[in-house]
Chains A and B, each alone.
Chain A
Amino acid sequence: MNSPDFLKLPPYGVPQPEKDRLLLEGLAELTRHHRAACPAYDRVLTALGSDGRAPRAVEDIPFLPVSLFKTHRLVSVPDEQIFKTLTSSGTTGQAVSRIYLDRETAQRQSQALAIIMEALLGPKRLPMILVDSQSLLRNRQAFNARAAGVLGMMPLGRHHFFALDDQLRLDVEGLRGFLDRFRGQPVLLFGFTYVVWQHFAPAVAAAGRRFDDAILIHSGGWKRLTEEAVDNAAFKRRIGEQTGIGRIHNFYGMAEQVGSVLVESDDGLLYPPAFADVVIRDPLTLRPLATGESGVVQIVSLLPGSYPGHSLLTEDLGTVVSVDAAAPQHCGKAIIIHGRVPRAELRGCSDVAAVLEEA
């Protein structure tokens, strides 16, 4: 399958003005495509006053709230072309997003992820530790974002080793064998942030194991760590102390935007690739905010062809710290994600049931 031109660009080598032009054209085309192919999407845009006139900037591209994928089937290809359905993790008990992929979109997402990770890891596939339990993949009922993340990342390494058992306890013997086998070589680790923090790093320290040349990529919600008042810098310091891992990179992504992930660079900031970007919006007025201002994160991406997800307003808060400040190595917007928009406690009459169920 042919790659679109935007996947041939260096992922961090396109300066913002050029990137804006590229994205504007591609996103406008995707908006037209999804309006024609997905009647529900068209209804939303019509009702919210999107008149179909040509957008003049990326900020003018209409967006959907990401929550809409939890309640509505939004798809822009005929049913027989749906190749895979992704579901988001969501908080326990809440509705999950359903994302419909055709072969082309799924392929683009895999390619995109490979391009982004290659920029970080180099062209060679490294021996890889998955900081999770293999049973995660076996249980198809619980096939969630964690499993999807592990599956998505696995092709980036080789000689895979699942480091945790069903109870998320460290396989100490297995780890010793893996480290002995690949002594003197760089190894890659991937896991979810709190799994690494809670189940892996302390157990590695307790087992007296050290990594001497390793790179850890981690992702997933910061909620639990925020509760423990652990920020990214503290996370890196502590995990480094416990395991000896020298390179630690967070990334920000979601089931609704697979492939368009923001990866942490050496400066500790997140960067979107050339084919995706971030707009920060005021939560009340929805107006785009300036560099340095904190607001709701909108993600735009050229990847989604089979579902109208090329422009999504997330429920996360973030800030664009700088633009093209690290060019030419890392062009584009440098971003900090502050975490989920805090839950609102609304009052009302209909909440006795919640109380009855709380205990």
Chain B
Amino acid sequence: MSTVVQLPRGEDIEIASVLERMAAAPRSHPFAPALIETLAILSKAILSDHELRRRAEAVALGYWLRPASLEQMRQSFLALTQPSRYRVPAGFAFHVPPANVDTMFIYSWALSFLCGNTALVRLSQRRSSFTVRLVEILSGVLAARGSCAEGTAFISYGHDAAITAAISQLVDLRVIWGGDASVAAIRQVPLSPHAKEVVFADRLSLSILSAPAWLALDAAAQNESARRAFNDIYSFDQMACSSARIVVWVGTSDEAQSASAAFSKVLRAEIFRRRYDVAPATALAKLGAACRAAIDWPLTRVDFVDLSWVVLDLGDARPSPLPHESCGGGIVAQMRIDRLNDLVPLLDRRVQTVTHFGFAHADLENFVHQACGRGGDRLVPIGEAMNFSSAWDGYDLLQEFTRVVELRSNDDNDSKPATPIPASRKSEDDHSAG
């Protein structure tokens, strides 16, 4: 039979025996106290690890797993429940996270874990030392947690459709984290008839900035906003699905030009301050991308002082579909529109994250209303593009990772809560890993 590598120790193991163990694992209720407690311990373990806490992604993950944040998720989950509708775990989940967004596999696993699922996570053979360290820590935390650890396994294997098929026949939920090519490849492998699939395709993210609002900022506020924009653009070398690749200025032509110039100036200072390192190959790739765009797009100009920040300026052109360059490392398409709603006809289903600056809530709400699902799955303030949330790519993952059991009794007017929700844990900081 086929063997896979079991992590963190890396021993070879028959996939059949992994699947057998998973099938026998005990079940948990969504958001059972023991699950929440396990993640709170994991949060502490990540934030206190000397190696991990040097990485911004690890710190973000550690914060996302803190009790206060978990309580917010629990509240979101509670909001899904109704009288007569029980929420139960989807069952056995198979997660295929991306290789190089190091922390993604934990987000995917943790939500599934919180929802009470057993989970098999397939990690890349190219996993980084950072990923390996995360698996070690997580496995250490789980090992000390008894029964709620039994339903989790981390494995790795090469391009072996037979293994993927063996897993897919047994699971209730398959979660594939993008791109289009891998979604297409894994979709070839049949899934158990009762299972559901959650897929994350290639996405495109953009930033909408109000030019007059930017120009009204004082120097300190501009610097702070540049710091936020830097995070949106340069995290994960601009290769994450939520990385901003298009900057849309909203305002008059004069306003947009001044604001763009000011924005580039403070952003360049921030790039320098953060010592963002552009590898020569990336710089050359960006130059190549700029030249290709100059030929293929209605560009007015390519704006750069050096290749750490490259703006492909479309001026007032509004090409459709929205053009973007995906070579990463700090290259954006830039365009100008008069009003926020001018963007609506340009939206399509590829558009995921819209980071915004300088707009009132009512304007944004109106934009979402006008867009009416054409595109844009999350609108968040600039600086928050990378903040993972259980609402992602148009899915409510808490809903996707659970199922509904309808319960009607003879006394239908009864309005008692349908789901036996455990009491919220008040003491958030008294669980040490030991």
Whether B282 contacts A43 by the Cβ 8 Å rule is no
Known: A43-B295, A284-B307, A352-B179. A65 touches B288 (CB 8 A): yes
Known: A317-B280, A352-B99. A359 touches B160 (CB 8 A): yes
Q: How far is the CA of A285 from the CA of B280 in the complex (A)?
A: 10
Whether B287 contacts A286 by the Cβ 8 Å rule is yes
Contact of A358 among B126, B278, B279 (CB under 8 A): B126
Whether, in the assembled complex, B375 has its beta carbon less than 8 Å from a beta carbon of chain A, the answer is: no
Known: A68-B288, A283-B283, A296-B284. A350 touches B202 (CB 8 A): yes
Known: A47-B301, A346-B329. A40 touches B307 (CB 8 A): no
Contacts of B292 in A (CB 8 A): 68, 71-72
Whether A348 contacts B328 by the Cβ 8 Å rule is yes
Contacts of A348 in B (CB 8 A): 98, 100-101, 236-237, 239-240, 328
Whether, in the assembled complex, B371 has its beta carbon less than 8 Å from a beta carbon of chain A, the answer is: no
Contact of A64 among B126, B185, B283, B291 (CB under 8 A): B291
Q: How far is the CA of A43 from the CA of B283 in the complex (A)?
A: 21
Whether, in the assembled complex, A234 has its beta carbon less than 8 Å from a beta carbon of chain B, the answer is: no
Q: How far is the CA of A313 from the CA of B294 in the complex (A)?
A: 17
Contacts of B182 in A (CB 8 A): 350, 352-353, 355-356
Contact of B278 among A284, A345, A349 (CB under 8 A): A284
Contacts of A107 in B (CB 8 A): none
Which residue of chain A has its CB nearest to the CB of B308? A284
Whether A350 contacts B178 by the Cβ 8 Å rule is yes
Q: Report the count of interface residues on A (CB-CB < 8 A).
A: 40
Whether, in the assembled complex, A1 has its beta carbon less than 8 Å from a beta carbon of chain B, the answer is: no
Whether B282 contacts A65 by the Cβ 8 Å rule is no
Give the bracket for the number of chain B residues in contact with chain A. 35 or more
Known: A47-B299, A285-B306, A349-B241. A313 touches B236 (CB 8 A): no
Contacts of B177 in A (CB 8 A): 349, 352
Whether B281 contacts A342 by the Cβ 8 Å rule is yes
Whether B288 contacts A67 by the Cβ 8 Å rule is yes
Whether, in the assembled complex, A229 has its beta carbon less than 8 Å from a beta carbon of chain B, the answer is: no
User: Smallest CB–CB gap between A252 and chain B, Å?
Assistant: 18
Contacts of A357 in B (CB 8 A): 159
| Cβ contacts B315-359/A at 8 Å (1 or 0 each) | 000000000000011000000000000000000000000000000
Whether B160 contacts A347 by the Cβ 8 Å rule is no
Known: A284-B278, A353-B185, A355-B99. A344 touches B179 (CB 8 A): no
Q: List, sorted by A's number, 15 A–B pairs whose CB atoms are closer than 8 Å.
A: A40-B295, A47-B299, A48-B291, A67-B285, A67-B288, A285-B306, A317-B280, A342-B280, A347-B237, A349-B179, A351-B179, A352-B124, A352-B176, A353-B182, A359-B158
Chain B residues proximal to chain A, CB less than 8 Å: 96-102, 104, 124-126, 157-160, 176-182, 185-186, 200, 202-203, 236-237, 239-241, 278-285, 287-288, 290-295, 299-302, 306-308, 328-329
